[in-house]
Amino acid sequence: MLRIPTNTLIKRQIHGNAEIVKNCKEIRNRNPRNLERLRIARKPMGYALDKRERGYWHKLVVHTTQRHVIAEIYHFENGPVITVSSKDWGLKKQLYSTNDCIAYKFVGRMLAQRCLESGISEIYLNKTSFVIGKKVQSLIDTLLESGICLQEPEQYKHPRPGTMNYPEKPWETYE
């Protein structure tokens, strides 16, 4: 058995983040969606003759089949980022039917949970792209109740010199 004197033991100290930030020389943000969160990233608008509208960062898409419900969050570059379906084993085992109003609510609750876990709190909802019935409206209401905003903020555009209206910068907080 090895015995170490207590005076030579190094005691672990708890440090705050202030000391780390003070000693930090370089900060690298490796989050690819950081500019979207700061509202600086470009929103692709597309062309005038394009069929689809592309003025969003994240878009809600709901597919319905005869048996299942599929809700997806699409990123404008990468395609589907988050997908929730009533085919998922965890949801399917808890549902009586995978295509009724309760299934839409459960899919909406699971989608909201996954969105908040991944840092997506604002989603673009194009109401003209699909028919909003009672079932889809229950999914949308569940998203709203769970804390998801169904309207993305506007892109920050730097004002030209000489303009009277200077918008608040999204990365500065005034309290």
The pLDDT assigned to 112 comes to 94
Range of the domain at 93: 58-146
Residue 80: give its domain's CATH number: 3.30.420.80
Residue 69, domain member (yes or no): yes
Running DSSP on this structure, what letter comes out for residue 170? T
The pTM of this model reads: 0.74
Query: Which stretches of the chain are DSSP H helices?
Result: 17-23, 34-37, 89-92, 101-118, 134-145
CA–centroid distance for 33 within its chain: 10
The pLDDT assigned to 2 comes to 56
Residue 42, domain member (yes or no): no
| CA 62/CA 69 separation, integer angstroms | 7
| CA 153/CA 147 separation, integer angstroms | 15
Residue 1, domain member (yes or no): no
- Number of domain units in the chain: 1
Residue 175, domain member (yes or no): no
Residue 160, domain member (yes or no): no
Q: Tell me the helices (H) and strands (E) count for the chain, helix number first.
A: 5, 3
Residue 128, domain member (yes or no): yes
Residue 141, domain member (yes or no): yes
The pLDDT assigned to 28 comes to 75
Residue 169, domain member (yes or no): no
Q: What is the pLDDT along the chain (175 residues), one digit of tens a residue?
A: 556 555 555 555 556 777 777 777 777 777 777 778 878 888 887 777 776 667 888 999 999 999 999 999 999 888 899 999 999 998 889 889 989 999 999 999 999 999 999 889 999 998 776 677 899 999 999 999 999 999 988 888 877 877 777 777 777 767 6
